[in-house]
Structure 1
Amino acid sequence: MHDTNQHNTTNDKMIYFQTHEIESWINEDAPLLDLTGHLLEINNQPARLSVKSRHATRLTMMEEAARIFELLGAEIKLQLPSGIDVTAETEILLVDGRADALHRGWKVAMNLLEYLCGVATHTAKMVAEVEAVGHIPLLVTRKHLPGMKKPMIKAISNGGAHPHRLGLSETILIFENHLNIIGGRDALKEKIPQIQQAACEKKISVECDTLKHALQAAQAGADLIQFDKIEVDSLSQWIAQLKNNYPHVKVIIAGGINQQNIRCYAQSGVDGIVLSSLYHAKPADLGVTITPLIK
């Protein structure tokens, strides 16, 4: 039996993977044939592949793992949905097909599931830590490996978190390196009104590492302050002062946040917590067996 608790999960249809993307994953691992299976002459033998969890796991990428085998001509007998929690020894995927098809898709699907279910599981734990003390979002950065945006966004979404920035094209976040180019923080009082006019439907965020910088950005018209690597005691004091003067300004914190201190940050008065470390989660431990299928 599996636990169908779907707290803070996201519908798997939120992100669509095109067929050619999944075919490219297969082709990368086996562009011609499975040489071992070919030489063992097991190609035409009917077989069954079973995937089980070895510990409590938040599932993700289940639909894409199933499509790998479908594209190889196999038949899906059981596929649990992304976004649910399962206990140890839960069968999450069952596939029937030719032995060569199952072996060809085996590692592609398993690498996808183990890596990304690990991300989803760790994300769910961190979300639970935040929700234990507050009602603010856990936001995840775009600091993932190039080419992994869609799988990573699905994983953190199924874990209950939200994307911080999906990319550079739709959000405005002014960093220190931008300020170096435009002449420093004093330029914000001129630049922010220009941005507000040109992108009237957008919010403007500014990264700050001191209260003085935050007050300056808020006075210039910033909608959101992103503090980076600030100790929680200082952060609480700064937020109180900042919101006393500029109650409309939202505040988020990034950097130096982990499972040991995240509850303290969640209680500091911030409107959101930003993480990158979820992408480096320990992979989930899943077991796979492929056996002859006797009908």
Structure 2
Amino acid sequence: MSLPHYAQHDLTSTVRHALAEDIGDGDITAQLIPAAEQALARVITREQAIICGQAWVDEVFKQVDPSVTVDWKVSDGELAQPDQVLFELSGSARSLLTGERAALNFLQLLSGTATTCKHYADIVAGTTVKLLDTRKTIPGLRNAQKYAVTQGGCFNHRIGLYDAFLIKENHIAACGGINNAVNTAKQQAPGKLVEIEVESLEELKLALDAGADIVMLDNFTLAMMRDSVALTNGKAKLEASGNVTDETLLPIAETGVDYISIGGLTKHCRAVDLSMRFV
């Protein structure tokens, strides 16, 4: 399985931290089991879900005990049904139990994120809009959640504060206006995308004149979005943001905007119900 570079970047350290906070100086309950005891375990989902997190599960058991075998029955991005076996584990009973919680924590959260994204992606499946995540992620798990977003059929906005500009109201005020903010961004980091948030059609015109690559339409009405699409006429990409719900999502998509950003893709996800049982 090939992960995008941003997800690979902190995979090992993220798993190491998760294991450290759970195991501490030793799993005292697992020590009740004879060291030589071997076991086979199956992990199932108790509900329908888009599965995501294979690399994190593999890394957990690699760090706990490299001799543990993980046999996957599904792939990331695959829809699993209730009671379906996701993977089997074989090896030291102690190791399987020690790694269980950290592995399932990653898998249930990332599968929950992917499942939430699939729900939203299905709503706009008949349009050309791309649904984008935001930086509203669980601290320390941004890269993992960003990957999960892609497995649910949505797309990544910028990963962090370093890979693209997103100039908002306070930035504009501190820079002395939209034109100054956009021009300074292009001078400081040529080649990086410059996106700017606007709150009116007048500000949209200023952003287009300044040469912004993407313009975020903050809490625009549907009529204003349609006017923005006509006014922009392909000069920049348009991103709608704010008050996006199941009910408003499709009407927003049908205005013709290029992107819709939704914080709920990562911050409103519900963990998938998983279970591990020894066979």
Could you tell me the TM-score, scaled by structure 1's length? 0.85
User: Within 5 Å, which residues of 2 pair with 1:1-295?
Assistant: 12-14=2-4, 15-16=7-8, 17-38=10-31, 40-73=32-65, 74-132=68-126, 134-183=127-176, 185=177, 188-240=178-230, 242-244=231-233, 247-279=234-266, 280-291=268-279
The Cα shift of 1:122 comes to: 0.9
RMSD, matched Cα = 2.0
Name the amino acid aligned to 2:78.
I
Structure number with larger C-alpha Rg: 1
User: Identity, % of aligned pairs?
Assistant: 25
> For residues 192 and 147 of structure 2, what CA distance do their matches in structure 1 show?
24
Are the aligned partners of 2:208 and 2:232 in contact in 1 as well (CA < 8 Å)?
A: no
The answer for unaligned runs of 5 or more in structure 2 is none
1:58-114 deviations in Å (ceiling 9; x for gaps): 111112212312332212233522121122221111001122111111111111111
> For residues 193 and 41 of structure 1, what CA distance do their matches in structure 2 show?
65
The Cα shift of 1:169 comes to: 1.4
C-alpha change, 1:140 and 1:191, in structure 2 (3 Å) is closer
The answer for unaligned runs of 5 or more in structure 1 is 1-10
The Cα shift of 1:191 comes to: 4.5
In the TM superposition, structure 1's runs of 4+ consecutive aligned residues that sit over 4 Å from their partners are: none
Are the aligned partners of 2:38 and 2:92 in contact in 1 as well (CA < 8 Å)?
A: yes
Are the aligned partners of 2:201 and 2:228 in contact in 1 as well (CA < 8 Å)?
A: yes
Q: Which moved more, 1:27-36 or 1:96-105?
A: 27-36
1:182-235 deviations in Å (ceiling 9; x for gaps): 23x3xx334434443443323322101111111122122222210112232332
3-state SS in 2 of match to 1:162: coil
1:152-190 deviations in Å (ceiling 9; x for gaps): 11111111212111111121221111122123x3xx334
Could you tell me the TM-score, scaled by structure 2's length? 0.90
